[in-house]
Amino acid sequence: MIRLRGIRKVFNAGKPNEFTAVDSVSLVVEAKKVTVLKGPSGSGKTTLLSIMGCMARPTAGRIELEGKEITSLPERFLTDIRRDNFGFIFQSLNLITGVTALENVMLPAYPVGEKHSLLRQRALDLLGLFNLTQKALSKVEWLSGGEAQRVAIARALINDPSVIIADEPTAHLDTKLSIEFMENMESLRNKGKTIIIASHDPIVFDSEIVERTVELRDGKVIGK
Amino acid sequence: MGPWIEKQRNILDFTLASLLRRKGKNAALLLVYTFIVFVLASVMFFTHSIKKEAGLVLQGSPDIIVQRTVAGRHDLIPASYLGPLTKIRGVASGRIRLWGYYFDPITGANYTLLVPEDFSAGAGAAIVGSGISKSRLASEGDVIVLRAHNGESLVLTIKGVLSEKSELISADLVLISEPDFRKLFGISKGHGTDIVLTVRNKKELSTIALKITEALPDARPIIRDEILRTYESVFNWRGGIITVLLAGAVFAFIIFAWDKATGLSAEERKEIGILKAVGWETSDVLLMKFWEGAALSLSAFLTGTALAYLHVFFASSPLFGPALKGWSVLYPEFRLTPFIDPVQIATLFFLTVVPYTTATIVPSWRAATVDPDSVMR
């Protein structure tokens, strides 16, 4: 469970271009459920996701993860928490080009120091789960959009996180692939993962698997 | 210990895969880098070995050599000078030497001819250095013919070939008897090339040298240490000249390497952001950049040094040997005995590997400290 209390995020504080991306957001994201943050561009969805995923610190407010306060932890600990608890799927996928799909999947686990052969096997198993065994040694830029999306999901799962965070995951996908993505999220939810998705795509927020929708506008929650 | 090593291994693995992505650029960098190390190491190996050889040779040379000068030039010394010289207090013994140079038009090389103190082979015989043996294809039992000062031919039978520890001096050496030497160059009985003196107390060398100039005003004493110093400065100077000529290339490389190492492309910056977002710490990113710099510069260093070793000690420095050796060495084949100074290798290492690796890490530090959420925006 993730609990946010009075979260506020201000960019360029004190400068003429000061901008409040998130303002006074208090929210509880329940474990093992699919939650969608819905809202137009600039509503603060991505910023809120970054804060929930320990990628950015709020300007004010508190965050609790599984009942533990994590707002004031130093960067090193936040990195550890992020690596152990969260798997990220980015809007533009953010796969590293020039290296293989397999290596992209293994990347988040490199600093952990797991035995290379075991890690490789785990990554291959994950790729197998998404029918990508044949593509394991292909460079990511040779993959189709759907394949690349699945590689990104496999990468998010390599450290076996309890929470999957996806930012506009269907932005570059056609309808068929978007539906396929939601099916993948459903199967992950069924395996006990918490899913948080930021999206303004109806295929996502109208999906049957979504258990809760949080609507944002101008950095504020306008509907839960 | 296990996870630590696995972590290093995993990150190194990714670094190497990463380097291969920019094959062209990294290969070009590696090539230029290797070349620079190769040239610097070659100059270093060469000058060090040649100075070391010279030092070895001079260890056995006399304490003081006395030459006679006429009009400021080295001239033959009268045998009568030996008496007054050996009478100087502190001089243990003295001997007149006969030696000179002979230009051989057949091989186009200068030979050094010397009459040893006790030449047992007798008149009509010669013992030659390995260089001459090779270039004239003459071995023991063969005959070589030298042209005397008056145009007559002097026929000598080779009684042996010198195989010295140091080839630098012995390669072009011909040892012959006194009568043959005088006949070849037309030097009368009463003259020699120079006089060598042995001194009891080495601390008195400069005092004795002073006394020699007082007793024989036209004599010039040369102390062993002076020769050693001259050798040192000559080869240091030659090494320096080469280094100066190369300075341009070295600077071009530094600019190139600096640009490559310090300027992170937008793509690299984005990659660092991704790595941080997926759970890499700042220190992990720096570790990766460290391996990247180390892998590249260490490969260049090892390859360059190994190539330089082969170039200098096996191939006789064909690239810039002539400049380093100077005019005096005309042997068709001349091979240095490998002498390597660990301090010099360490210096080269610290001047090449360390700066490059550091230059790679510094800009990454700046990039690696950005917030991981930059990739979300």
Same domain, B86 and B157: yes
Q: Residue B329 above 50 pLDDT? A: no
B198 occurs within a structural domain: no
Q: Residue B368 above 80 pLDDT? A: no
B123 occurs within a structural domain: yes
Instruction: Give the model's confidence band at B331: pLDDT under 50 very low, under 70 low, under 90 confident, else very high.
Output: very low
B217 occurs within a structural domain: no
Instruction: Give the model's confidence band at B330: pLDDT under 50 very low, under 70 low, under 90 confident, else very high.
Output: very low
| Amino acid sitting at position B110 | N
| Residue B17 CA from chain centroid, whole number | 40
Length in residues, chain A: 224
Domain ranges, ordered by start, for chain A: 2-223
Greater pLDDT, B301 or B377: B301
Same domain, B247 and B372: yes
Q: What is the pLDDT of residues A38-63, one digit of tens each?
A: 999 889 999 999 999 988 889 999 99
Cβ within 8 Å, pair A113-B279: no
Q: Residue B249 above 80 pLDDT? A: no
Same domain, B235 and B356: yes
- Structural domain range at position B279: 2-57+230-376
Instruction: Name the CATH superfamily for A2-223.
Output: P-loop containing nucleotide triphosphate hydrolases (3.40.50.300)
Same domain, B238 and B329: yes
Cβ within 8 Å, pair B280-A76: no
B119 occurs within a structural domain: yes
Q: Is A167 left (phi over 0), alpha (psi -120 to 50) or beta?
A: beta
Looking at B166, B192, B218, the residue that finishes a domain is B192
Looking at beta carbons, which residues of chain A come within 8 Å of B11?
110-111
Looking at beta carbons, which residues of chain B come within 8 Å of A96?
271, 274
Is the CB of residue A62 less than 8 Å away from at least one CB of chain B?
no
Q: Residue A194 above 50 pLDDT? A: yes
d(CA A104, CA A119): 12
B167 occurs within a structural domain: yes
Q: What is the pLDDT of residues A88-139, one digit of tens each?
A: 999 888 999 989 999 999 999 999 889 999 999 999 999 998 899 999 999 9
B206 occurs within a structural domain: no
Same domain, B112 and B245: no
Lowest mean pLDDT among A181-185, A193-197, B331-335: B331-335
Same domain, B234 and B309: yes
Same domain, B366 and B310: yes
Structural domains counted in chain B = 2
d(CA B54, CA B34): 30
The pLDDT of residue B164 is: 58
Identify the CATH number of the domain in which residue B100 sits. Answer: 2.40.40
Q: Which of B11, B275, B376 sits opposite A90 (nearest CB)?
A: B376
Cβ within 8 Å, pair A116-B6: yes
Looking at beta carbons, which residues of chain A come within 8 Å of B5?
113
Q: What is the pLDDT of residues B69-105, one digit of tens each?
A: 999 898 999 999 999 999 999 899 999 999 999 998 8
Cα distances (angstroms) measured from residue A54 to each of A112, B157, B168, B326: 18, 92, 71, 69
Lowest mean pLDDT among B28-42, B283-297, B359-373: B359-373
Q: What is the pLDDT of residues B145-176, one digit of tens each?
A: 999 999 999 999 999 888 755 565 677 889 99
Q: Which two tokens stand for residue A20?
A: 């409040």
Mean pLDDT value of segment B227-254: 72
Q: What is the pLDDT of residues B170-210, one digit of tens each?
A: 778 899 999 999 999 999 999 999 999 999 888 888 899 99
Percent of chain A scoring above 90 in pLDDT: 71
Q: Which of A50, A82, A155 sits opposite B376 (nearest CB)?
A: A50
**Max mean pLDDT range (A79-93, B19-33, B243-257):** A79-93
